[in-house]
Structure 1
Amino acid sequence: MSAPSATAVPRPAVPLAGYLLAAAGAILFSAKGVLIKLAYGGSVDAITLLTLRMALSAPVFVTIGLVTYARARRRGAAAPAVGDLLKAIGVGLVGYWFASYTDFKGLETLSPQFERLILFTYPLFVVLFGAALFGLPFRRASLGAFAVSYAGLALIFLTDVGDQGAAVAVGVAWVLSSAVAFALYQLLAKPVIGRLGAPLFTSVAMSGAALGTGLQFVATRPLSDLAVSAPVFQAALAIAIGATVLPTYLMNAALSRISAQANAVIGTLSPVATLILAVLVLGETVTVADVVGTAMVVGGVGLFTLLDRRG
């Protein structure tokens, strides 16, 4: 019997739809900082804008979670444990309330492209906290990749401090706090998601974050502050739906078609898209330091992804 020809072996289809969904999600996520800066132009503060975002987006997540829960119960699935629901609320407070609030505060003084680059380095904190608190493996080779990324951040930081002063340092501290909180969220959420499932977990976590945001707003602002101008409300709606709900589901849809590694690599589009949107929408100027720093951050995170995949 003769050997089959090479042409007889079918070639796997390229998951083009998955790549396009991941790219669309990354670009929509990248628009968040630009939309927040537009809203700040209408004289709104961070907690008021975050409250509007949660009020407009949380009902969508909650509805999807309730529908998912009802379907699971009809199939005879057991009710989720109360302890897991409480953990999901706590994780939501970390990842959807605290991380979001500190991010919004940082954008009061930082450019959206610098904010996105700082957030983009959260995998460093995932690696460090994972090793220190959760006993996860630590690969020393990853440190070189992070050194490249943070050297890029330092380049942009020094340039912005020279132009804008100490306010930039305050903004960096806020956004770094957000990156730390998001890293902890990633580590704490994974086991709870495994028990509850992603739709129900997201619903409960968003409910917890909405509660935390609402309590913070009521404790610090009069309810009349929610009566914002039409442009601010439109920006808040765009943040809630266009930069929160839609990209979340686009990323989930992409993950059902392509690998997590491919999704992460495509996610490197986000800082670049933010840089472009900041120029086109906000009219910001791009310096050589911005371009070089962005390339270093994206390159460092891309290198980390490659090393982590090989490890």
Structure 2
Amino acid sequence: MSKNATATAHPSIPRPALVAGLSIAIGGAVLFSTKAIVAKLLYRYHIDAVTLIAFRMLFSFPFFLAIAVWKMRSEAPLPAIDRWRILGLGLIGYYLSSFLDFLGLQYISVGLERLILFLTPTFVLLLTSVFLKRHISRIEWAALATSYGGIVLVFVHDLHGGAGNAVLGSSLVVASAISYALYLLFCGELVKRIGTLRLVSYAMCVSSVACIAQFFALRPAALLIQPAEVYWLSLVNGIFCTIFPVFMTMYAVQRIGAATASQAGMVGPVSTLFLGALVLGEPITSVQLAGTALVLGGIYMLSRKK
């Protein structure tokens, strides 16, 4: 989709279609954010991040594989260079970023984790400036300062509140966000040539194989035997927190445009904050709300600038 098409798509969308697209985008953002809640529940059964992410991919892999096979049969084969690019993108964007994210969740609250991940657009902006020598305007610097100020506020709050090893957990989640930002930065040209559905399904297949292979390389197969609750939570994690949000977000972007869909996704951190309080009993404080408002304000400024 061109920039002009994106810019003009919003006014031409009928109101029912716009409402439907926004609802799908918001639903996808909430479901994707819920994976942090599910991960916290799974950690109560004394499984580690390696096992958690392996179970997540075991349940989601068949769906992405089916779509990948359909695309391979219905479209022309990819050149070798694109196959290597997809391999790298799958390892960076979905395997590494997810693994680091789940590792970090062992040490910090779901509210702080979601706020850090929500800084991904700002990391994309900074990486674009470094790699592509793109100029950052004053408004963009102000947006960055606002967002990072919110993160610092919540981080200091969690640090003083004794929320696990906040430094280690936050560092892991920041690394996760940077990894995913690199994925977004480098997949731009590729997604235009091969399509979003094809790229996502192929990359998710690469990630799934890597996560499952990592489990069998580092853990005994006996760990596949878990309580029934672990299987049910992993099923929710694989289907409702992985498959559904991936395709819901894609569908929303096609209906209402990337800019509008990304703004609707701003509900994600807020939903995680309240779901953490409702399901996990994590307290909601005025400091957390203030930090959340700053992060959302900074991201909103960036989205309006674009």
TM-score, normalising length: structure 1: 0.90
The partner residue of 1:48 within 46, 51, 56 is 51
Q: Distance in 2 between matches of 1:202 and 1:256?
A: 15
- The answer on whether the counterparts of 1:89 and 1:207 sit within 8 Å (CA) in structure 2 is no
Structure 2: where are the runs of 5+ without partners? 1-10
Is 2:25 the partner of 1:22?
yes
**How big is the shift at 1:258?**
0.3
Distance in 2 (alpha carbons) for counterparts of 1:251 and 1:272: 18
The 5-angstrom pairing of residues 188-227 of structure 1 reads 188-227=186-225
Letter in 1 for 2:65: V
Alignment correspondent of 1:83: 81
Q: 1: CA distance between counterparts of 2:193 and 2:12?
A: 36
After TM superposition, list the pairs within 5 Å mapping 1:1-311 onto structure 2: 13-14=14-15, 15-72=18-75, 78-164=76-162, 167-308=165-306
Shift of 1:165: 6.4
* 1:159-186 per-position Cα deviation (integer Å, ceiling 9, x unaligned): 1111216711100000000010010000
Q: For residue 32 of structure 1, report the CA deviation from its aligned partner.
A: 0.9
Between 1:209-218 and 1:267-276, the stretch displaced more is 209-218
Q: What whole-Å deviation, never above 9, does each CA across 1:213-261 have from its counterpart, x for those lacking one?
A: 2332222211111212111111111111001100111111111210211
CA deviation map 1:15-41 (0-9, x unaligned): 211111111111111111001101111
**What SS does the corresponding residue of 1:52 show, helix, strand or coil?**
helix
Deviates more, 1:175-184 or 1:139-148: 139-148
Question: Contact 1:151–1:296 at 8 Å: present in 2 too?
Answer: yes
Distance 1:127 1:12, change over 3 A: closer
Query: Separation in 2 of the partners of 1:230 and 1:30?
Result: 23
Quote how far apart the aligned CAs of 1:11 are.
8.5
CA RMSD of aligned residues (A): 1.7
**Counterpart of 1:93 in structure 2: which amino acid?**
L
The number of residues matched between the two structures is 294
Point out the more displaced range, 272-281 or 195-204.
195-204
What SS is found at the alignment partner of 2:161? helix
- How many Å separate the matches in 2 of 1:231 and 1:12? 43
Give, as a single letter, the amino acid of the residue that structure 2 aligns with 1:235: L
After superposition, the C-alpha distances for 1:95-117 in whole angstroms (9 at most, x for unaligned) are 11100000000000111111000
Residue number in structure 1 paired with 2:7 = none
What's the CA shift for 1:268? 0.5
Q: Which amino acid aligns with 2:301?
A: L
**AA in 2 matched with 1:26:** A
Deviates further, 227-236 or 241-250: 227-236
Residue pair 1:84, 1:196 contacting (<8 A) in 2 also: no
1:3 alignment partner in structure 2: none
Whichever of the two has the greater Rg, that structure is 1
Structure 2 counterpart of 1:19, one-letter code: L
Secondary structure, counterpart of 1:164 in structure 2: coil
- 1:125-173 Cα offsets, whole Å, 9 max, x none, are 1011112113445334211111111111111111111121671110000
Separation in 1, partners of 2:72, 2:112: 39
Question: Conserved in 2, the CA contact under 8 Å of 1:156 and 1:289?
Answer: yes
Q: Percent identity?
A: 35
Read off the aligned partner of 2:181 and give its amino acid letter.
Answer: A
Structure 2 CA distance, aligned partners of 1:87 and 1:44? 32
Q: Do the aligned partners of residues 166 and 16 (structure 1) sit closer, same or farther apart at CA in structure 2, a change above 3 Å counting?
A: closer
